[in-house]
A and B are shown apart, each in its own frame.
Chain A
Amino acid sequence: MSKMRQLEILVGAFMATGFVALFFLAMNVSNLGAVNSGDSYKVLARFDNIGGLKVKSPVTMAGVEVGRVIDIYYDAQDFRAVAVLGIYSQFDQIPDDTFAKILTAGLLGEQYVGLDPGGSEQVLKDGGEIVLTQSALVLEEVIGQFIFGKAQEGAQ
Protein backbone atom coordinates (compact mmCIF):
# COMPACT_ATOMS: atom_id res chain seq x y z
CA MET A 1 0.00 0.00 0.00
CA SER A 2 1.51 3.30 -1.04
CA LYS A 3 1.95 6.05 1.47
CA MET A 4 -0.43 8.36 -0.38
CA ARG A 5 -3.14 5.71 -0.36
CA GLN A 6 -2.72 5.29 3.39
CA LEU A 7 -3.06 9.05 3.83
CA GLU A 8 -6.21 9.08 1.73
CA ILE A 9 -7.78 6.34 3.81
CA LEU A 10 -6.93 8.03 7.11
CA VAL A 11 -8.23 11.41 5.95
CA GLY A 12 -11.38 9.76 4.67
CA ALA A 13 -11.89 8.02 8.00
CA PHE A 14 -11.36 11.35 9.79
CA MET A 15 -13.95 13.11 7.63
CA ALA A 16 -16.40 10.25 8.14
CA THR A 17 -15.90 10.35 11.92
CA GLY A 18 -16.46 14.09 11.94
CA PHE A 19 -19.69 13.81 9.99
CA VAL A 20 -20.87 10.93 12.16
CA ALA A 21 -20.27 13.18 15.17
CA LEU A 22 -22.31 15.97 13.56
CA PHE A 23 -25.06 13.50 12.73
CA PHE A 24 -25.00 12.29 16.32
CA LEU A 25 -25.34 15.86 17.58
CA ALA A 26 -28.28 16.35 15.22
CA MET A 27 -30.16 13.16 16.01
CA ASN A 28 -29.25 12.22 19.56
CA VAL A 29 -28.42 15.49 21.27
CA SER A 30 -30.69 18.05 19.64
CA ASN A 31 -34.40 18.00 18.98
CA LEU A 32 -33.98 17.48 15.23
CA GLY A 33 -34.59 13.76 15.59
CA ALA A 34 -37.90 14.25 17.39
CA VAL A 35 -41.07 13.78 15.38
CA ASN A 36 -42.54 17.16 16.27
CA SER A 37 -41.82 18.56 12.83
CA GLY A 38 -44.77 16.61 11.40
CA ASP A 39 -48.10 18.09 10.36
CA SER A 40 -50.07 19.96 12.93
CA TYR A 41 -53.24 22.00 13.07
CA LYS A 42 -53.73 25.28 14.87
CA VAL A 43 -56.01 25.93 17.80
CA LEU A 44 -56.36 29.24 19.63
CA ALA A 45 -56.60 29.59 23.38
CA ARG A 46 -57.14 32.88 25.20
CA PHE A 47 -55.66 33.33 28.65
CA ASP A 48 -55.93 36.18 31.17
CA ASN A 49 -52.28 35.63 32.03
CA ILE A 50 -49.85 33.28 30.37
CA GLY A 51 -47.15 33.63 33.03
CA GLY A 52 -43.87 32.17 31.76
CA LEU A 53 -45.32 30.29 28.78
CA LYS A 54 -43.06 30.53 25.73
CA VAL A 55 -43.19 29.68 22.07
CA LYS A 56 -42.22 25.99 21.69
CA SER A 57 -43.50 25.10 25.17
CA PRO A 58 -45.13 21.68 25.08
CA VAL A 59 -48.90 21.08 24.96
CA THR A 60 -49.80 17.91 26.82
CA MET A 61 -52.84 15.75 27.30
CA ALA A 62 -52.81 13.26 30.17
CA GLY A 63 -49.10 14.00 30.40
CA VAL A 64 -48.36 13.03 26.80
CA GLU A 65 -47.08 15.70 24.46
CA VAL A 66 -49.68 16.32 21.76
CA GLY A 67 -48.35 19.60 20.38
CA ARG A 68 -46.33 22.75 20.87
CA VAL A 69 -47.10 26.43 21.39
CA ILE A 70 -46.48 28.01 17.98
CA ASP A 71 -47.16 31.66 18.65
CA ILE A 72 -48.10 33.98 21.50
CA TYR A 73 -49.53 37.44 21.06
CA TYR A 74 -51.59 40.03 22.89
CA ASP A 75 -55.14 40.75 21.78
CA ALA A 76 -55.71 44.47 22.30
CA GLN A 77 -59.50 44.07 21.85
CA ASP A 78 -60.24 41.96 24.90
CA PHE A 79 -56.99 42.55 26.80
CA ARG A 80 -56.03 38.91 26.86
CA ALA A 81 -53.10 36.86 25.65
CA VAL A 82 -53.68 34.49 22.76
CA ALA A 83 -51.59 31.31 22.53
CA VAL A 84 -51.65 29.52 19.20
CA LEU A 85 -51.30 25.80 19.88
CA GLY A 86 -50.01 23.52 17.14
CA ILE A 87 -51.59 20.12 17.80
CA TYR A 88 -50.05 17.20 15.89
CA SER A 89 -52.40 15.88 13.24
CA GLN A 90 -52.62 12.38 14.67
CA PHE A 91 -54.43 13.82 17.71
CA ASP A 92 -57.51 14.97 15.79
CA GLN A 93 -60.14 13.66 18.22
CA ILE A 94 -59.97 16.42 20.85
CA PRO A 95 -63.48 17.55 21.98
CA ASP A 96 -64.23 21.25 21.45
CA ASP A 97 -65.15 21.81 25.10
CA THR A 98 -61.64 20.82 26.18
CA PHE A 99 -60.26 22.75 29.14
CA ALA A 100 -56.81 24.33 28.66
CA LYS A 101 -54.74 25.37 31.64
CA ILE A 102 -51.20 26.57 32.06
CA LEU A 103 -49.27 24.31 34.40
CA THR A 104 -45.75 24.26 35.76
CA ALA A 105 -43.50 21.23 35.57
CA GLY A 106 -42.16 20.85 39.10
CA LEU A 107 -41.94 23.74 41.49
CA LEU A 108 -39.58 25.86 39.40
CA GLY A 109 -39.83 24.05 36.08
CA GLU A 110 -40.92 25.41 32.74
CA GLN A 111 -44.56 26.09 32.04
CA TYR A 112 -46.68 24.11 29.61
CA VAL A 113 -50.26 23.90 28.45
CA GLY A 114 -52.24 20.98 29.83
CA LEU A 115 -55.47 19.93 28.06
CA ASP A 116 -58.33 18.20 29.90
CA PRO A 117 -60.77 16.68 27.42
CA GLY A 118 -64.46 17.52 27.78
CA GLY A 119 -67.45 15.42 26.79
CA SER A 120 -68.58 17.11 23.59
CA GLU A 121 -69.23 15.17 20.41
CA GLN A 122 -67.73 17.94 18.28
CA VAL A 123 -63.94 17.85 17.79
CA LEU A 124 -61.57 20.79 17.49
CA LYS A 125 -60.73 21.74 13.91
CA ASP A 126 -57.88 23.75 12.42
CA GLY A 127 -58.39 27.40 13.44
CA GLY A 128 -60.77 26.44 16.24
CA GLU A 129 -60.70 27.98 19.68
CA ILE A 130 -60.56 26.53 23.16
CA VAL A 131 -63.01 28.61 25.20
CA LEU A 132 -62.45 27.16 28.65
CA THR A 133 -59.07 28.25 29.93
CA GLN A 134 -57.30 28.76 33.20
CA SER A 135 -54.45 31.23 33.55
CA ALA A 136 -50.99 30.56 34.78
CA LEU A 137 -50.46 30.53 38.50
CA VAL A 138 -48.44 33.64 39.33
CA LEU A 139 -46.71 33.07 42.63
CA GLU A 140 -46.92 36.69 43.80
CA GLU A 141 -50.70 36.76 43.29
CA VAL A 142 -51.17 33.55 45.23
CA ILE A 143 -49.04 34.86 48.10
CA GLY A 144 -50.88 38.19 47.89
CA GLN A 145 -54.27 36.48 48.18
CA PHE A 146 -53.05 34.38 51.07
CA ILE A 147 -51.83 37.40 53.00
CA PHE A 148 -55.03 39.30 52.16
CA GLY A 149 -57.09 36.37 53.42
CA LYS A 150 -55.09 36.21 56.64
CA ALA A 151 -55.54 39.93 57.18
CA GLN A 152 -59.33 39.63 56.75
CA GLU A 153 -59.42 36.77 59.20
CA GLY A 154 -57.59 38.91 61.71
CA ALA A 155 -60.07 41.82 61.24
CA GLN A 156 -63.09 39.68 62.02
Chain B
Amino acid sequence: MEWLAALGRAGLSFSARLGRANLLFVAMLRGLPALLRRPRLLIEQMFAIGVLTVLIIAVSGIFVGMVLGLQGYHILSRFGAEATLGVMVAASLVRELGPVVTALLFAGRAGSAMSAEIGLMKATEQLSGLEMMAVNPEHRVLTPRLIAGIISMPLLAALFSMLGVYGGWFVGVGLLGVDDGTYWAQMQSQIDWNEDVVNGVVKSFVFGVVCTWIAIFQGYDCVPTSEGVSRATTRTVVHSSLAVLGLDFVLTALMFN
Protein backbone atom coordinates (compact mmCIF):
# COMPACT_ATOMS: atom_id res chain seq x y z
CA MET B 1 0.00 0.00 0.00
CA GLU B 2 2.85 2.36 0.92
CA TRP B 3 4.54 2.21 -2.50
CA LEU B 4 1.22 2.67 -4.26
CA ALA B 5 0.71 5.93 -2.38
CA ALA B 6 4.29 6.96 -3.17
CA LEU B 7 3.72 6.22 -6.84
CA GLY B 8 0.58 8.34 -6.85
CA ARG B 9 2.38 11.18 -5.08
CA ALA B 10 5.23 11.06 -7.56
CA GLY B 11 2.81 11.08 -10.49
CA LEU B 12 0.86 14.01 -9.13
CA SER B 13 3.96 16.04 -8.34
CA PHE B 14 5.36 15.34 -11.82
CA SER B 15 2.13 16.50 -13.39
CA ALA B 16 2.12 19.61 -11.20
CA ARG B 17 5.72 20.46 -12.17
CA LEU B 18 4.88 20.07 -15.84
CA GLY B 19 1.91 22.35 -15.39
CA ARG B 20 4.00 24.96 -13.53
CA ALA B 21 6.65 24.81 -16.24
CA ASN B 22 4.07 25.51 -18.92
CA LEU B 23 2.46 28.33 -16.97
CA LEU B 24 5.91 29.83 -16.43
CA PHE B 25 6.59 29.67 -20.17
CA VAL B 26 3.38 31.56 -20.92
CA ALA B 27 4.21 34.09 -18.19
CA MET B 28 7.65 34.65 -19.72
CA LEU B 29 6.18 35.17 -23.19
CA ARG B 30 3.84 37.78 -21.67
CA GLY B 31 6.95 39.69 -20.65
CA LEU B 32 7.97 40.22 -24.30
CA PRO B 33 6.45 43.71 -24.72
CA ALA B 34 8.17 44.83 -21.52
CA LEU B 35 11.46 43.47 -22.84
CA LEU B 36 11.18 45.50 -26.03
CA ARG B 37 11.14 48.65 -23.92
CA ARG B 38 14.33 47.55 -22.11
CA PRO B 39 16.69 45.98 -24.66
CA ARG B 40 19.55 46.58 -22.24
CA LEU B 41 18.40 43.61 -20.11
CA LEU B 42 18.55 41.39 -23.17
CA ILE B 43 22.06 42.57 -24.05
CA GLU B 44 23.31 41.81 -20.56
CA GLN B 45 21.92 38.28 -20.79
CA MET B 46 23.21 37.79 -24.33
CA PHE B 47 26.64 38.48 -22.89
CA ALA B 48 26.28 36.07 -19.97
CA ILE B 49 24.67 33.32 -22.05
CA GLY B 50 26.01 33.77 -25.56
CA VAL B 51 29.37 35.52 -25.49
CA LEU B 52 30.78 33.63 -22.52
CA THR B 53 29.85 30.30 -24.14
CA VAL B 54 31.65 31.09 -27.41
CA LEU B 55 35.05 29.88 -26.24
CA ILE B 56 34.01 26.37 -25.21
CA ILE B 57 31.87 26.05 -28.36
CA ALA B 58 34.75 27.18 -30.56
CA VAL B 59 37.30 24.83 -29.00
CA SER B 60 34.96 21.81 -29.04
CA GLY B 61 33.87 22.60 -32.59
CA ILE B 62 37.41 22.57 -33.88
CA PHE B 63 38.28 19.35 -32.08
CA VAL B 64 35.09 17.53 -33.07
CA GLY B 65 35.74 18.53 -36.68
CA MET B 66 39.32 17.31 -36.46
CA VAL B 67 38.26 13.96 -35.01
CA LEU B 68 35.63 13.60 -37.73
CA GLY B 69 38.27 14.33 -40.34
CA LEU B 70 40.62 11.74 -38.89
CA GLN B 71 38.06 8.99 -38.37
CA GLY B 72 36.28 9.71 -41.63
CA TYR B 73 39.51 9.60 -43.58
CA HIS B 74 40.48 6.19 -42.20
CA ILE B 75 37.07 4.69 -42.90
CA LEU B 76 36.57 6.32 -46.31
CA SER B 77 40.08 5.55 -47.56
CA ARG B 78 39.29 1.88 -47.10
CA PHE B 79 36.76 2.26 -49.93
CA GLY B 80 38.91 4.67 -51.86
CA ALA B 81 36.36 7.41 -51.23
CA GLU B 82 38.47 10.05 -49.48
CA ALA B 83 37.00 12.58 -51.88
CA THR B 84 33.73 12.50 -49.95
CA LEU B 85 35.43 13.41 -46.66
CA GLY B 86 34.12 16.97 -46.86
CA VAL B 87 30.56 15.73 -47.35
CA MET B 88 30.84 13.38 -44.40
CA VAL B 89 32.29 16.02 -42.08
CA ALA B 90 29.87 18.75 -43.13
CA ALA B 91 26.76 16.55 -43.15
CA SER B 92 27.37 15.09 -39.71
CA LEU B 93 28.18 18.53 -38.29
CA VAL B 94 25.37 20.50 -39.86
CA ARG B 95 22.68 17.90 -39.35
CA GLU B 96 23.51 16.32 -36.01
CA LEU B 97 26.65 17.17 -34.10
CA GLY B 98 26.41 20.93 -34.47
CA PRO B 99 22.97 21.36 -32.89
CA VAL B 100 23.24 18.46 -30.41
CA VAL B 101 26.75 18.96 -29.02
CA THR B 102 26.19 22.72 -28.86
CA ALA B 103 22.99 22.15 -26.87
CA LEU B 104 24.73 19.74 -24.48
CA LEU B 105 27.61 22.15 -23.92
CA PHE B 106 25.16 25.02 -23.61
CA ALA B 107 23.24 23.14 -20.91
CA GLY B 108 26.45 22.49 -19.01
CA ARG B 109 27.98 25.93 -19.43
CA ALA B 110 25.09 28.43 -19.56
CA GLY B 111 22.08 26.42 -18.36
CA SER B 112 23.60 25.36 -15.04
CA ALA B 113 24.84 28.91 -14.38
CA MET B 114 21.39 30.25 -15.17
CA SER B 115 19.54 27.96 -12.77
CA ALA B 116 22.11 28.52 -10.02
CA GLU B 117 21.74 32.27 -10.41
CA ILE B 118 17.95 32.25 -10.44
CA GLY B 119 17.84 29.69 -7.61
CA LEU B 120 20.13 31.82 -5.49
CA MET B 121 18.04 34.90 -6.26
CA LYS B 122 15.07 32.96 -4.96
CA ALA B 123 16.93 31.66 -1.88
CA THR B 124 18.14 35.15 -0.94
CA GLU B 125 14.63 36.50 -1.58
CA GLN B 126 15.69 38.88 -4.30
CA LEU B 127 12.76 37.74 -6.42
CA SER B 128 10.34 38.49 -3.57
CA GLY B 129 12.11 41.83 -3.16
CA LEU B 130 11.40 42.69 -6.80
CA GLU B 131 7.79 41.77 -6.28
CA MET B 132 7.62 44.05 -3.24
CA MET B 133 8.78 46.89 -5.47
CA ALA B 134 5.94 46.08 -7.88
CA VAL B 135 8.37 44.72 -10.47
CA ASN B 136 7.27 41.48 -12.06
CA PRO B 137 10.28 39.16 -11.50
CA GLU B 138 9.15 36.83 -14.30
CA HIS B 139 9.23 39.66 -16.82
CA ARG B 140 12.27 41.42 -15.43
CA VAL B 141 14.54 38.43 -14.64
CA LEU B 142 13.33 35.46 -16.63
CA THR B 143 12.12 36.74 -20.01
CA PRO B 144 15.48 38.32 -21.02
CA ARG B 145 17.24 35.04 -20.21
CA LEU B 146 14.79 32.99 -22.25
CA ILE B 147 15.05 35.21 -25.30
CA ALA B 148 18.83 35.48 -25.01
CA GLY B 149 19.07 31.69 -24.89
CA ILE B 150 16.79 31.26 -27.91
CA ILE B 151 18.79 33.80 -29.96
CA SER B 152 22.20 32.49 -28.87
CA MET B 153 21.73 28.79 -29.53
CA PRO B 154 21.37 28.81 -33.35
CA LEU B 155 24.27 31.24 -33.63
CA LEU B 156 26.45 29.09 -31.40
CA ALA B 157 25.50 25.96 -33.35
CA ALA B 158 26.35 27.67 -36.65
CA LEU B 159 29.69 28.72 -35.20
CA PHE B 160 30.31 25.16 -34.02
CA SER B 161 29.55 23.72 -37.47
CA MET B 162 31.68 26.28 -39.26
CA LEU B 163 34.72 25.70 -37.06
CA GLY B 164 34.14 21.94 -37.26
CA VAL B 165 34.22 22.06 -41.05
CA TYR B 166 37.50 23.95 -40.82
CA GLY B 167 38.81 21.44 -38.26
CA GLY B 168 37.99 18.59 -40.63
CA TRP B 169 39.58 20.56 -43.45
CA PHE B 170 42.75 21.08 -41.41
CA VAL B 171 43.16 17.37 -40.71
CA GLY B 172 41.89 16.05 -44.06
CA VAL B 173 43.48 18.54 -46.43
CA GLY B 174 46.32 19.84 -44.33
CA LEU B 175 47.64 16.70 -42.72
CA LEU B 176 46.29 13.70 -44.63
CA GLY B 177 46.48 15.07 -48.15
CA VAL B 178 42.89 15.10 -49.39
CA ASP B 179 42.59 17.48 -52.33
CA ASP B 180 41.53 20.97 -51.27
CA GLY B 181 39.19 21.55 -54.23
CA THR B 182 37.53 18.15 -53.90
CA TYR B 183 36.87 18.69 -50.20
CA TRP B 184 34.88 21.87 -50.82
CA ALA B 185 33.34 20.96 -54.19
CA GLN B 186 31.94 17.63 -53.00
CA MET B 187 30.59 19.35 -49.91
CA GLN B 188 28.88 22.07 -51.91
CA SER B 189 27.31 19.65 -54.35
CA GLN B 190 25.99 17.27 -51.69
CA ILE B 191 24.90 19.50 -48.83
CA ASP B 192 21.54 21.09 -49.48
CA TRP B 193 20.69 24.48 -48.00
CA ASN B 194 17.05 23.71 -47.16
CA GLU B 195 17.37 20.07 -46.32
CA ASP B 196 20.54 20.13 -44.26
CA VAL B 197 21.45 23.61 -43.07
CA VAL B 198 17.99 25.03 -42.41
CA ASN B 199 16.90 21.84 -40.67
CA GLY B 200 19.99 22.06 -38.47
CA VAL B 201 19.13 25.64 -37.59
CA VAL B 202 15.55 24.65 -36.79
CA LYS B 203 16.89 21.91 -34.54
CA SER B 204 19.18 24.26 -32.64
CA PHE B 205 16.34 26.76 -32.28
CA VAL B 206 14.16 24.07 -30.68
CA PHE B 207 17.05 23.02 -28.43
CA GLY B 208 17.56 26.66 -27.48
CA VAL B 209 13.95 26.98 -26.35
CA VAL B 210 14.01 23.69 -24.44
CA CYS B 211 17.40 24.07 -22.74
CA THR B 212 16.78 27.63 -21.60
CA TRP B 213 13.25 26.82 -20.51
CA ILE B 214 14.42 23.88 -18.40
CA ALA B 215 17.26 25.91 -16.84
CA ILE B 216 15.00 28.81 -15.94
CA PHE B 217 12.23 26.60 -14.62
CA GLN B 218 14.57 24.52 -12.46
CA GLY B 219 16.07 27.66 -10.96
CA TYR B 220 12.73 29.35 -10.43
CA ASP B 221 11.07 26.25 -9.03
CA CYS B 222 13.90 25.14 -6.71
CA VAL B 223 13.66 24.65 -2.97
CA PRO B 224 15.16 27.94 -1.70
CA THR B 225 18.03 26.40 0.26
CA SER B 226 21.64 25.77 -0.68
CA GLU B 227 20.84 22.10 -1.16
CA GLY B 228 17.81 22.96 -3.27
CA VAL B 229 19.91 25.19 -5.54
CA SER B 230 22.53 22.49 -6.01
CA ARG B 231 19.85 19.96 -6.87
CA ALA B 232 18.24 22.36 -9.33
CA THR B 233 21.59 22.84 -11.07
CA THR B 234 22.14 19.10 -11.38
CA ARG B 235 18.61 18.58 -12.65
CA THR B 236 19.05 21.30 -15.26
CA VAL B 237 22.01 19.53 -16.82
CA VAL B 238 20.46 16.06 -16.63
CA HIS B 239 17.02 17.04 -17.89
CA SER B 240 18.35 19.29 -20.65
CA SER B 241 20.69 16.59 -21.93
CA LEU B 242 17.94 13.98 -21.93
CA ALA B 243 15.47 16.36 -23.56
CA VAL B 244 17.98 17.31 -26.26
CA LEU B 245 18.84 13.72 -27.11
CA GLY B 246 15.21 12.60 -27.10
CA LEU B 247 14.00 15.58 -29.13
CA ASP B 248 16.85 15.11 -31.55
CA PHE B 249 15.55 11.68 -32.44
CA VAL B 250 12.02 13.00 -32.93
CA LEU B 251 13.16 15.97 -35.01
CA THR B 252 15.47 13.82 -37.14
CA ALA B 253 12.67 11.36 -37.77
CA LEU B 254 10.38 14.21 -38.82
CA MET B 255 12.92 16.03 -41.01
CA PHE B 256 14.96 13.37 -42.76
CA ASN B 257 12.53 10.50 -43.31
Which A positions have Cβ atoms within 8 angstroms of B?
A: 4, 7-8, 10-11, 13-15, 17-22, 24-26, 28-34, 58
B58 — nearest CB in chain A belongs to which residue?
A17
Enumerate chain A residues within 8 angstroms of B165, measured Cβ to Cβ: 28-29
From DSSP, what is the main secondary structure of chain B's interface residues? helix
Partner of A11 from the list B47, B163, B197 (CB cut-off 8 Å) is: B47
Stretch at the interface among B117-125, B129-137, B173-181, B184-192: B184-192
Q: Please, how many angstroms separate the alpha-carbon atoms of A20 and B165 in the complex?
A: 14
A22 — nearest CB in chain B belongs to which residue?
B158
What is the minimal beta-carbon distance from B68 to any residue of chain A, in angstroms?
A: 14
Which B positions have Cβ atoms within 8 angstroms of A?
A: 40, 43-44, 46-47, 50-51, 54, 90, 94, 151-152, 154-156, 158-159, 161-163, 165, 184, 187-193, 196-197, 201
On whether the beta carbons of A31 and B191 are closer than 8 Å, the reply is yes
On whether the beta carbons of A28 and B192 are closer than 8 Å, the reply is no
Q: Please, how many angstroms separate the alpha-carbon atoms of A7 and B47 in the complex?
A: 6
Q: Enumerate 9 A-B pairs (CB-CB under 8 Å) in ascending A order.
A: A4-B43, A11-B47, A14-B47, A14-B54, A18-B152, A24-B158, A25-B94, A30-B193, A32-B193
What is the minimal beta-carbon distance from A19 to any residue of chain B, in angstroms?
A: 7
Enumerate chain B residues within 8 angstroms of A14, measured Cβ to Cβ: 46-47, 50-51, 54, 152, 155
B159 — nearest CB in chain A belongs to which residue?
A21
Asked, given contacts A22-B201, A30-B196, whether A4 binds B40 with beta carbons under 8 Å apart, the answer is yes
Q: Please, how many angstroms separate the alpha-carbon atoms of A13 and B201 in the complex?
A: 20
Enumerate chain A residues within 8 angstroms of B159, measured Cβ to Cβ: 17-18, 21
Tally of A-B Cβ pairs under 8 angstroms: 89
Q: Which 4 A-B pairs have the closest CB atoms?
A: A18-B155, A21-B158, A32-B193, A21-B162
On whether the beta carbons of B50 and A30 are closer than 8 Å, the reply is no
Q: Please, how many angstroms separate the alpha-carbon atoms of A15 and B155 in the complex?
A: 7
Enumerate chain B residues within 8 angstroms of A21, measured Cβ to Cβ: 155, 158-159, 161-163
On whether the beta carbons of A31 and B54 are closer than 8 Å, the reply is no
On whether the beta carbons of A17 and B155 are closer than 8 Å, the reply is yes
Enumerate chain A residues within 8 angstroms of B94, measured Cβ to Cβ: 25, 29-30
Q: Please, how many angstroms separate the alpha-carbon atoms of A28 and B164 in the complex?
A: 13
On whether the beta carbons of A10 and B196 are closer than 8 Å, the reply is no
Q: Please, how many angstroms separate the alpha-carbon atoms of A17 and B53 in the complex?
A: 13
What is the minimal beta-carbon distance from B79 to any residue of chain A, in angstroms?
A: 8
What is the minimal beta-carbon distance from B76 to any residue of chain A, in angstroms?
A: 13
Q: Please, how many angstroms separate the alpha-carbon atoms of A14 and B22 in the complex?
A: 30
Asked, given contacts A15-B155, A25-B197, whether A33 binds B47 with beta carbons under 8 Å apart, the answer is no
Enumerate chain A residues within 8 angstroms of B43, measured Cβ to Cβ: 4, 7-8, 11
Asked, given contacts A14-B46, A17-B54, whether A30 binds B155 with beta carbons under 8 Å apart, the answer is no
